Structure 1
Amino acid sequence: MSDDPGASPRQSWERLPWLVRDAVVWSACLLVVAAALYLLARLAVRLAPLAIALAATLFLAALLDPLRTALGRLGFRPVLASLISLLTLIGGLAGAGLLVWTLTASEFGRLSDELDGGLDRTRDFLTGSLPVSGEQLDRWTRQALDAAGRATPDPVAGAQTALQVTGAILLGLVLLFFLLKDGRQMWRWTLDRVAAERRTLWARAGRVGWHTLSSYTRGTVFIAGVDALGIGLALVLLRVPLALPLALITFLGGFVPIVGATVAGIVAVLVALAAKGPTAALLTALAVIAVQQLEGNLLEPLVMKRQVRLHPVVILVAVTTGTLAAGIAGAFVAVPIVAVTYRVIDAVATERRRTADEPRELPPAGQPPPEPA
């Protein structure tokens, strides 16, 4: 490091080129951050049911908080207001599922016959339009079915997964009730234990994070509902079977930005192709593209606002990372976590700059300046 054997480590460090020093410092910081993120990811994967339950609880709490607040203003006690909000959520989900099943159960019988004929038409269309033979399609189909069969979990693993999912749902409902009931008291309790000089910073970061999560949740629900309504209406007009389940898939896919809407649209087009043929599939694809263009260019800028929106590259990276870490559940929660984290970091940086720019009061004449903390 130095030609002088008697040089101290500090002197040897200062004699290095500035580029080397910066590279060493930044590399060390990146390694520490990467190690911390890796440990957090491993912990989250280990505690996947708990992590998913906590994320879903915060997501649903942000969605139900306006209802709980409105009930509180009408004179309902916090326990009763929280219970009514929770029951409203459960009743809405159960009612939607029952409605979809009731209206589409009769379609499953005729759908089997339509799919058989539709698959034959699709096979003839592909062999006539693409340079592939019927034998190749049959071989690829068998390979896909074999791969799907190998990917299917064994009964024991399936039972364990079902038990974990059930436990996570029950835990999430209990946590949601207490968060709606005592969430504000919990936050005030947390702030009371923060040092006085940092309390304002923490309070601002909490307000910004909660506002971002609430805006993201309500905006996502609204946009997903519009997508489901538009695509579902197009499927009904085109007489595509299982229009309501496909609309429900579109609604759920709306909670995974970009990727979810694309996958839901592909599923709708494939069902239309298999059941009604290429013309209906083409019209379905046009309807899906039109709805998604309306969402991306009009609804999302108006509903989400600039404070909540993220760059598409950030969204794709977040969704991919969440999917690799925790599957479908990770894809659902990745984007709101990134949005809230970004806004909180930005709010903290802004508050620190504002505090640093504030003029400090000068001490009276003859009095020494205060000692630094």
Structure 2
Amino acid sequence: MSASQTLGGQSRCGRALGPSLDKIVKNATWRKHSQLVSSCKSVLDKLESLTDSIIHSPLFGISPSDAEFVLHPILLALDSAYPKVVDPALECLVKLFSSGLIRGEIDNGSKNVIIFKIIESVCKVGGIGEEAVELSVLRVLLSAVRSPCVLIRGECLVHIVRTCYNVYLGGLNGTNQICAKSVLAQVMLLVFTRVEEDSMDVNVKTVSVSELLQFTDKNLNEGSSIHFCQNFVNEVMTASEGVPDDKLLLLPPSDILQNGSGGAGDDNDNVGEGDQKSELSDKKTNNEAETGGGGGEAGGSKIREDGFLLFRNLCKLSMKFSSQETPDDQILLRGKILSLELLKVIIGNGGPIWRTNERQVINKSILQCFELQPLYIYQCRP
């Protein structure tokens, strides 16, 4: 048996982590990344002694304390912003999410603090100026949202969408921008199919990249970009199809990711006004005051609560107007058009929930969307 096959020990998480940690050690600059190298070696030694066990943890089969320890070098690698160690860290995260090895609820203030920090760091490295890293970031984020074992909530979900927006608006090439748009559309289908069924375990169709470029962004196509981006999305979606349903049953009752009970509290509900490329904001507003009802409305489902939050943010983003200082803001215009296209994807694939009165905000948001359709059609004309 080769060394790469034995790295990480016998646990499933170890087999995913081991080769990536070894690659990080080999690619690191020893003087600059001594702490990272030391952390990787300590974790590799630790993984040799770990075996899978049925335990409630953010990392399948590993205790919560050990999970934080073994994931720490991944966080360090991402925070280094050094492409040669960032790349294997991102590759490892794709494996962990696609295999259902990372589990539970991810949001600011949740128990899975290390996972939340990792998602934040993944979003951050998307801006280091490397084409390959941009694509890897998109792959990780789509894998995370795609996983039926992970419920990404509130600020974390908004952060993921904002990161994809930024790649779309300022990506290093046309192919990456098309990939970002495709990932955003796929995320919308994932989130709102779950909203419809109020369940994490759903069948979701894969977006058609060529249809997304039917009216806009044809100029971004660099020959084989459409084919590349379609394969990109297909690979992520099919990689997660083999996740066994029984992993969901290993979650503690408070973390069951189906028909979860959402509590009232603060949610992200504002569109950013800072960085032109940062189209969605971290700023929080009280969701109960916004909707005129508590978190228990519409069944109190966490899945639906976050879906409504995301839908409202897209509606608000589509209504942003340029300032007097920058009346011809092309980045803002592209962001508005993208928001309308994503709203069209959501409503075009919507089911019975969009024809009910469970939440007054749905009706208001849909009305806003259709009021803006003439603007969308006008801006998208060739």
- Give the alignment's TM-score, normalised by structure 2: 0.25
Greater C-alpha Rg? 1
Higher helix proportion: 1
Which protein has greater RCO, CA pairs closer than 8 Å, 6+ apart?
Answer: 1
- Give the alignment's TM-score, normalised by structure 1: 0.25
